[in-house]
Amino acid sequence: MHGVLLEVKNVCLTLVHKKLVYNRSDEVGIVLFGTKGTCNELAKDIGGYKHVTVIHDIKVVDEGTAQALQNLPLGSAPGDFLDSIVVGLDMVIRKFGITKGKRRLCLITGAQELLRDPPEGTKEDQVDTIANMLKKHNIKMECIIFREPGVHHNDVMEENDRLLHQFRNRSVAKVVQVDNPTSLLGALKTRNVLPVTVFRGDLEVNSNFKIKVWVYKKTAEEKFPTLKKYSDKAPPNDKFASHEVKVDYEYKSVVEPDKVVPPDQRIKGYLYGPQVIPVSNAEWEAVKFKPEKGVKLLGFTDRSSVPRHQFMKDVCLFIPEPGNMKASLAVSAIARAMHQMNKVAIVRCVWRQGQGNVAIGVLTPNISSVNNIQDSFYFNVLPFAEDIREFQFRSFSSLPSSSQPTEEQQEAADNLVKMLDLAPPGREVLKPEFTPNPILERFYSYLDLKSKQPDANVPPLERSLRRITEPDPDVVGQQTQLIQNLSKAFVLKDNPKKKKARTQDMLAYTGAGDQAKSVEDRVLENTHPSTENVVAIRDSNPVQDFEAMLAKRSSSTWTQKAIGDMQNYIAALLQNSSDGGNYQKALECFASLRKACIIEQEPQEFNQFLTKIYERLKEGDAAKFFQLLSSKNISLINKEEAPDSDVTEEMARSFYLKREKASQ
């Protein structure tokens, strides 16, 4: 396994890094087999168990655990995985004895070396003995077999596979086989989540037919760890400091800013246009939708009528109530009948009493091929009408014949789409169950690096993660001809219309085109000056100049310059206005500025400017101008219009109260 030692190191490091975040009290030990030397307690006590080396004893996970995995040596001797399992089992028993707790062995091997014969009995007998010890001490085992594609299977490999699968048949081990470094990186489950039931109750087929079922989550999104705020105010010598940051909120009255409003005098308010509507908790409880807990069958439909791309959220597993034979028979009978008729069931689910929402989903039969595993159902949430987003794309048939693709171009595009298939017949490039999340893998790796080197930069992507995030060179290399055909089918040509327009611009710039211009063209130019080279807002058409400046974007600060110029122009208009003569033009500029600030995601610029304008105007002018703003529905930009808006309920309430006071 010399060629994939980097991936072996990475998957083990990921396991350690996650334990440092989630399970800091866990204890981990590391055993290598196939090493040149021998170092383990069994070899010292009774002899044998050669070429098995314990490089890290079982102890609480820390930085030393990760350091032990950094430089894995290249083994030069045959690796006997049965000896390594016995050494690992002995380490766990010596450390913990018969105490209760979750314990597991993780075996990563190529399983290609000939195992030594035991002193007594056969290798199968030795496996049975080890399996009995694992069961006795309640120890689970995970076996990951790495075999590169194209490796010739010989008698030794077949024997090793049979022995490892014997552990699985004894219900003490899980065995998976992978064939590439990327799958190896995702084969080991680095974080175990305890399965918890989502629902326990009746699957109501009708009022007289109910089946006792339990519902578990089959899949769940793995999210980033919760990053909390850290305080460095505690004394450096305080070992018991938690460094937690606690945030408290105070609510103060608008009328009396120095007075803190106690909780019993507060009520939630919601903006409805310029008004704030108070809604008490009692009123909320009165209008809340409170469905009854339960799962009801609505009916059956063809599997083809429920496409997979409509499945939402996580997948759940419906199983019959454990130990309930009648429930097992009922679930099995319905599931097998649905499978034979190619049907699925539509159900309505309310998982908890008092839950505020209802899930409509589909049950798909899951027929078991193993004797000791019962039949069950997979549950997927279906979208409601408002959840569906239909994207209507324009058809090529509506275009003129000159713009429609040829048969050669259509075939080349179809072949490109087929080439991008990650699951071609007979081979799946990135298997979901063996493909880790590259973002999380990179996060934990970089988190560990930053803990040691606070100023460290983000390192480049590792080889295995590049195979997930970048095009597979093997897939692309095999389809070179298709890519070349695509480039030949779509030839880039100059647009004659654009070329003609550039020529006319050059003639106009040199003056050669002045004689060809009509009187009408010159009048239009004088009435609407060209906005191509606008660098400031002019009185003739300030809104058009402002939009031209935004479209120009000659530098990264150009948008800020355009917004700042428009603010200054509006302020000058209002300041120099006599009897509101400039208010209408200022209103148009305000509307254009507000729209631009929403599009450019600069809501704070507009909100702060609108507040300052109110403070600068005299009382009579402020009342008149704000009446005009209200008539055009121009107000503060809220969070619904721009997520980065800094408008809070308190700020909006204060602003609207001031505006109403000015209007009075």
Provide the total of helices (H) and of strands (E) in the chain, helices listed first: 22, 14
Say if CB 231 and CB 245 are below 8 A apart: yes
Cα 473 from Cα 466, distance rounded (Å): 10
Give the CA count within 13 Å in the CB-facing half-sphere of 544: 11
Could you tell me where in the chain the CATH 2.40.290.10 domains are found? 197-222+289-387
Q: How many CB atoms lie within 10 A of CB 302?
A: 10
Q: Which two tokens stand for residue 343?
A: 């049907």
Element of type H or E holding 210: strand 209-217
Cα 130 from Cα 662, distance rounded (Å): 86
Say if CB 537 and CB 548 are below 8 A apart: no
Cα 560 from Cα 463, distance rounded (Å): 42
Instruction: Compute, in degrees rounded to 10, the torsion defined by CA atoms 385, 388, 389, 392.
Output: -80
Alpha carbon separation from 341 to 334, 336, 379 (Å, rounded): 11, 9, 18
Cα 294 from Cα 203, distance rounded (Å): 7
Produce one character per residue of 362-388: b if its CB has 16 or more CB atoms within 10 Å, e if not. Answer: bbbbbeeeeeeebbbbbbbbbeeeeee
Give the CA count within 13 Å in the CB-facing half-sphere of 418: 11
Superfamily of domain 542-654: Ku, C-terminal domain (1.25.40.240)
pLDDT at 559: 79
Class of domain 2-187: alpha beta
Cα 386 from Cα 547, distance rounded (Å): 35
Q: Which two tokens stand for residue 22?
A: 């989630």
Q: Which two tokens stand for residue 356?
A: 């505020």
Closest CA to 1 of 148, 152, 183: 148
Could you tell me where in the chain the CATH 3.40.50.410 domains are found? 2-187
Closest CA to 387 of 312, 499, 440: 312
pLDDT at 645: 65
Could you tell me where in the chain the CATH 1.25.40.240 domains are found? 542-654
Burial class (CB in 10 A: 0-12, 13-18, 19+), 618: exposed
How do beta strands 268-272 and 275-279 pair? antiparallel
Say if CB 325 and CB 224 are below 8 A apart: no
Give the tens place of pLDDT for each residue, 493-532: 777 665 555 555 444 444 444 444 443 444 334 444 454 5
pLDDT at 237: 84
For domain 197-222+289-387, give the fold: Ku70; Chain: A; Domain 2 (2.40.290)
Cα 199 from Cα 115, distance rounded (Å): 48
Cα 126 from Cα 160, distance rounded (Å): 13
Cα 664 from Cα 28, distance rounded (Å): 74
Query: Among all chains, which residue has been given the structure tokens 């009328």?
Result: 255
Residue ranges of the chain with pLDDT lower than 70? 496-534, 553-556, 577-580, 616-623, 643-664
